[in-house]
Amino acid sequence: MTTLKLNITGMTCDHCAKTAEAALNALPDVTAHVDYDTATAVIDAPDNIKAKDLLKAVEGKGYGANMQTCDRNSVIADNNGAKLLVAIIGTGSGAFAAAIKAVENGAQVTIIEGGEVIGGTCVNIGCVPSKILIRGANIAHIQGHHAFDGLPLNTPTTDRRAMVRQQQEWVEKLRHAKYESILKTNPDINLLRGMACFKDANTLIIKKPDGSEKMLHADRILIAAGASPSIPDIEGLADTPFWTSTEALIAESIPEHLMVLGASVVALELAQAFRHLGARVTILARSTLLSKEDPEIGEGLRQTFEDEGIKIMLHTSPHNVSHDRGHFVLQTNTGEVQGDQLLVATGRSPNTATLDLDNAGVKTDNRGGIVIDDHMRTSVEHIYAAGDCTDQPQFVYVAAAAGTRAARNMTGEDVAIDLSVMPAVVFTDPQVGTVGLTEQQAQDRDLDVESRTLYLENVPRALANMDTRGFIKLVAEKDSGRIVGCQVLVAEGGEIIQTAVLAIRNRMTIAQLADQLFPYLTMVEGLKLCAQTFTMDVKQLSCCAG
């Protein structure tokens, strides 16, 4: 027999606790006690019981459940009572989220890192340094481009080297706090350095930095290898000192003229940041800006960028790149473009080419992304994957959520990830925030929808900020009024969009959103005002009419 503990959620009274307790005690040879005050179940059960059977018993009564550790510090698995051995390829957010949860559920974890530092993309070369750069650049821009009387405009002298030094200090602090310190304080997570590839479905070959190799056998394997910048096949490009986002974020000088190849998230964020720092910027877009979003988003950003002096070249593709004496020349279908630096930001490709996935039978899509289901399972039963190396959206919060759920499933639970209401933010100024369906996407699914767009001259906080660039758009079903999508182009769009997420997640209608209390003056009040435009002319309302 072994002693296990469950966390139980959703109980509202002692009767709930008795109901969950009876469900557990109905299992063969199980003795359980559920305590309402601590929301835990202490269970004596046979050694061969499956954790998923315990969880299903509780969940069948309408409550949530997840495993705590047990007295033998192990999980109920198919390994005769020994600790489940979990190998994780990668050390980014998805990998660490999985490692922490797997250990909580009793597993022994080995994480494998082939690079010089742990932490993956987000903390090292992605979210953290880019948002620090964007914030600093925005502060520099505001000093010379605000609309407030009595405050003199000022173009600051920028010390890019000092900016990079401070930025990287924060990168190191956060990497230590969120990654390195976890290894030091958790003896059940072991770091193994080297490049991993599959020998077979249960065995990894780790090629260590000293040239030696190590075989690692595991009961469960999680692939969380991340992604790298995708470099287009353009004649001459590989022979030039172009930047990817990695080099751009740590560049200690500001180009005189930065050419940006790409028109998606990373390209637009960095293009505007360098413009705010004083560079002349040209964007070369294969089609339009943010072409996968509502067309009004891309058009709104185009107008903003051009107002700031950024040159936008739509439907432009280079066919040749050359570099000589610090000077780039791009030959494109719309003419020649020249500048002193080139940033290539044309997406990211999964880091799967060196993993020898065929040896394990793991299937990939045409991009090389690992195909997974909503339980993070690959085509091989005991191999899971999470994060940017998969066919899921490339967002750090998706990777972390997927990693946690993968670990729970590897250790006996049965949980899925729901990406139907997933927010996304582009950290330009104004910011882009999206969730749910655009009007076109809804129509493509045969939904009968209508939409309203509220421009920011109708939002009191935007007027007070003297910045009315952008809009808020809601998409809803015509008959029911249920909200199915929201797109915003607003100075604080990243903060606003989560309110729309909650509204869609809870199946709110336009009428219900319009009837909510929103604080005044706030930008998020624009969601209420946009909802009100479905039935009235908000121009005829008083400033904070309910």
Residues 271 and 391 in one domain: no
Residue 546 lies in a domain: no
Residue 545 lies in a domain: no
pLDDT of residue 73: 39
pLDDT of residue 76: 43
Spell out the residues 6+ positions from residue 254 whose beta carbon is closer than 8 angstroms to its own: 158, 160, 274, 277, 278, 279
Residues 96 and 219 in one domain: yes
> Tens digits of per-residue pLDDT, 440-479?
999 999 999 999 999 999 999 999 999 999 999 999 999 9
pLDDT of residue 36: 77
Cross-strand bridge partners of residue 42: 5, 33
Residues 327 and 361 in one domain: no
Measure the CA–CA gap between 472 and 296, rounded to whole angstroms.
11
Residues 145 and 56 in one domain: no
Residues 402 and 460 in one domain: no
pLDDT of residue 49: 86
Residues 209 and 353 in one domain: yes
Residues 373 and 332 in one domain: no
At residue 68, what is the residue type?
Answer: Q
Is residue 161 within 8 A of residue 320, CB to CB? The reply is no
From the list 423, 370, 377, the residue with the least C-alpha distance to 392 is 370
Q: Which of 14, 39, 67 is the last residue of a domain?
A: 67
Residue 193 lies in a domain: yes
Cross-strand bridge partners of residue 111: 88, 191
Q: Poorest-confidence range of 1-15, 41-55, 504-518, 526-540?
A: 1-15
Counting the structural domains of the chain, the total is: 4
CATH of the domain at 242: 3.50.50.60
Is residue 153 within 8 A of residue 145, CB to CB? The reply is yes
Confidence of residue 92 (pLDDT cuts 50, 70, 90): very high
> Tens digits of per-residue pLDDT, 388-432?
999 999 999 999 999 999 999 999 999 999 999 999 999 999 999
Measure the CA–CA gap between 64 and 59, rounded to whole angstroms.
5
Residues 435 and 526 in one domain: yes
Residue 72 lies in a domain: no
What 3-state DSSP class applies to 186? coil
CATH of the domain at 8: 3.30.70.100
Residues 198 and 272 in one domain: no
Q: Which of 12, 39, 67 is the last residue of a domain?
A: 67
> Tens digits of per-residue pLDDT, 334-382?
999 999 999 999 999 999 999 999 999 999 999 999 999 999 999 999 9
Residues 181 and 276 in one domain: no
Residues 82 and 165 in one domain: yes
- In this predicted structure, the answer to whether residue 545 has a pLDDT above a threshold of 80 is no
pLDDT of residue 171: 98
> Tens digits of per-residue pLDDT, 285-297?
999 999 999 999 9
> Tens digits of per-residue pLDDT, 423-444?
999 999 999 999 999 999 999 9
Residues 35 and 61 in one domain: yes
How many CA atoms, within 13 angstroms, populate the side-chain half-sphere of residue 378? 25
Q: Is the peptide bond before 350 cis (omega within 30 degrees of 0)?
A: no
Residue 97 lies in a domain: yes
CATH of the domain at 479: 3.30.390.30
- In this predicted structure, the answer to whether residue 13 has a pLDDT above a threshold of 90 is no
User: 182 is in which domain, residue-wise?
Assistant: 77-229+347-419
Q: What is the DSSP letter of 285?
A: -
- The residues annotated with a catalytic role in the active site are 11, 13, 16, 63, 122, 127, 543-544
- In this predicted structure, the answer to whether residue 71 has a pLDDT above a threshold of 70 is no
pLDDT of residue 546: 63
Q: Which of 419, 443, 474 is the last residue of a domain?
A: 419
Residue 321 lies in a domain: yes
